[in-house]
Amino acid sequence: MHIEKLKVRPRKNPAFNMCATQLNQMLSCMVTTGDVFHNGHCKTAAADLFHCMATTPFRGKQHRSPINYHLARLNKKIK
């Protein structure tokens, strides 16, 4: 069997949403209590989010699989 272009669609890396949990908690708190400026009940939730953003390291480029490079390279060896 001859395949002209041997290629796969590799899986995407999982999305990196920085401090998404803390942000979600703060926004949920704001919706339930109505504390839009996080001065009262949501002050601790906001403080947690700010601390998370201050301490979490930024994730750079994620590793992408080179499967297609290898498939293209080895394609000519397949009869």
Q: Minimum CB separation from another protein for residue 42, in Å? A: 10
Question: Is the CA virtual torsion 43, 49, 53, 54 positive or negative?
Answer: positive
Q: Which of 7, 10, 28, 78 is close enough to bind another protein by CB under 8 A?
A: 28
Q: With CB under 8 A, what is the number of residues at the site for another protein?
A: 23
Stretch that binds another protein, among 3-11, 44-52, 61-69, 70-78 (CB under 8 A): 44-52
How is 29-59 classified by DSSP, letter by letter? Answer: HHHHH--TTSSSTTHHHHHHHHHHHHHSPPP
Compute how many other C-beta atoms are within 10 angstroms of the C-beta atom of residue 22.
Answer: 19
Q: Which of 3, 8, 10, 23 is close enough to bind another protein by CB under 8 A?
A: 23
